[in-house]
Amino acid sequence: MLEFIARWYQKRFSDPDAVTLVFILAFMFAIVLFLGDILAPVIVSLVIAYLLEWPVAKLTAIGVRRSISVIGVLVVFSCLSFTLLVGLTPQIWGQLTNLITEIPYILQEGQDYLLNLPGEYQSLINPEQVKNMTNALKEQLVNTGKELVSASLNSLVTLVTLLIYLVLVPLLVLFMLLDKDKLLRQTLQFLPRQRKLANRVWSEMNQQIGNYIQGKVIEILIVGTMSVIAFLLLDLRYAVLLGVGVGFSVLIPYIGAAVITIPVAVVAVFQFGVTPEFWYIMIVYGIIQALDGNVIVPLLFSQAVNLHPVFIIIAVLFFGGIWGFWGVFFAIPLATLVKAVVNAWPAAHETPDDIDKALS
């Protein structure tokens, strides 16, 4: 056994490039794990910089100076972001507040429905248990809603946080785009010279991360817009809130779509009951999810993502548990990074005979 471990270590870590790659990955992992909250504005700026690099590169390619391209793209992006923020935030906040206040009534209707089921189901349902479960769920949801509103007012939308993001993020994005090559060269000066393997992995991941961020933002906008329009046309209450929720649910592959289905269905049942209108909403919602999974995602991520759904779900759970929102957002690129490292690792694979011989 010791011989097998020694041979495994010799084959995989005798190359200085492999040691450099492990050092870089471990260092980046530690930085994000322990300093992720402090560096949140930097991470946000990196995401925006990756998103805006594509139009900047296109303008530069047709002869526009990079500095002018960067400033022009940033101005357009800022105007669009401000318009969306001012237009959607009041509606989302108002609808969220109304939904929280109506949660007890929704739960009461659910309780009445269960207690009034046909007689053949009465033997399966204990009325007292239904009341206790509904009351407990009602209390928990109301408390959660109050905590959410309180946390949003006291923590997320504080003046300090707004100032940090409104001042630092645009500046960081501006410098990242303007001095992209200079910053990369200065960063490389701190890395060991023997980094061929790290360069190979980086060249593969850099393009994939850019494609992923751009594709994910486009997917959110398309799915969210379709959902809002569809819910408004079907006269569903909280249409903007639910539509935006459906759009952002694509951040969490597979799991997000399953979770957001619950509030859409509950609100539709509460408003229309089990009527044709309810089924129209669920059918349209199913069509949107089908278009996302079978048309939008293949078009946007055909070359960026080549992972089995099981590995994607594991990556979402693992990296989301470690890094929270950013772990979920970058779950697919991080899983692709793991795959790229495994594929590029400079070592011959052990054959079954070698393993049996070492373990005997």
For the chain, what percent of residues have pLDDT higher than 70? 71
- Residue 81, pLDDT > 70, answer yes
Residue 196 and residue 324 in contact, taking contact as beta carbons nearer than 8 Å: no
pLDDT tens digits along 42-66: 888 888 888 888 899 889 989 888 8
Domain range summary for the chain, segments of one domain joined by +:
15-193, 195-346
- Residue 281, pLDDT > 80, answer yes
> For residue 7, what pLDDT is reported?
61
pLDDT tens digits along 143-172: 666 565 555 555 544 556 667 777 888 888
pLDDT tens digits along 15-24: 566 667 777 7
- Residue 357, pLDDT > 80, answer no
> For residue 115, what pLDDT is reported?
64
Whole-prediction pTM value? 0.71
> For residue 348, what pLDDT is reported?
43
Q: Give the residue, 188 or 260, on which the prediction is more confident.
A: 260
pLDDT tens digits along 342-353: 766 655 444 444
pLDDT tens digits along 97-108: 787 777 777 777
- Output the six-digit token pair for 207: 């393009």
- Residue 72, pLDDT > 60, answer yes
Q: Please name the helix (run of DSSP H) or strand (run of DSSP E) that holds residue 247, with its range, or none.
A: helix 239-249
Cβ atoms within 10 Å, residue 2: 7
Distance CA 305, CA 231 (A): 30
> For residue 349, what pLDDT is reported?
44
Q: Give the residue, 338 or 292, on which the prediction is more confident.
A: 292
Distance CA 298, CA 289 (A): 13
Any residues with CB less than 8 A from the CB of 64 and at least 6 apart, and which? Answer: 72
